[in-house]
Amino acid sequence: MFTTYDVFDDLLNFRNAVDRFFDELSTYGRKYDMPYVNLYEKGDHIAIKALLAGVKPEDVEIHLVENSLVLEGEKKADYVERPYIRKERHFGKFKKSIRLPYRVDPSKVQATMKNGVLIIKLEKSEEAKPRRIEIK
């Protein structure tokens, strides 16, 4: 049987390979995306847990913008007098935006930090809560 050859298939395959190469290259050397977060939803509430080991609460700012939560801060170096023999921990400023699945009530946001874990509790806003519609 005969098969058809399409040069455009080869071009698309080549383009995909180049795209993968540059995607992997852009993440090379970037070992972390600070802070790591977990997002939980239960009923009308959302809980966000962010791993911020070595960061003081006064070095973190939390902003609620539209339906996103922005964590911004700095993990300050703790050993600056002498050079490291080995360095695997990262220091510096960070900023992370977390898109929320719905609007939350800004007056009911609570944030606590314990043992390097930031816990943010949010509640669904009244307009985001489902409403029963009566059929007439």
Residue type, 89: R
What is the predicted pLDDT for the residue at 125? 83
Mean pLDDT of the chain: 82
Who's near 104: CB < 8 A, 6+ residues apart? Answer: 46, 64, 67, 122, 123, 124, 125, 128
Tell me the percentage of the chain whose pLDDT exceeds 90: 32
77 pLDDT band (50/70/90 cuts)?
A: confident
- 122 touches 102 (CB < 8 A): no
The mean pLDDT of 85-101, rounded to a whole number, is: 83
Architecture of domain 33-128: Sandwich (2.60)
The mean pLDDT of 67-86, rounded to a whole number, is: 81
Full-model pTM: 0.67
Helix (H, G, I), strand (E, B) or coil at 107: helix
What is the predicted pLDDT for the residue at 60? 93
- Identify the bridge partners of residue 70 per DSSP, sorted by sequence position: 63, 97
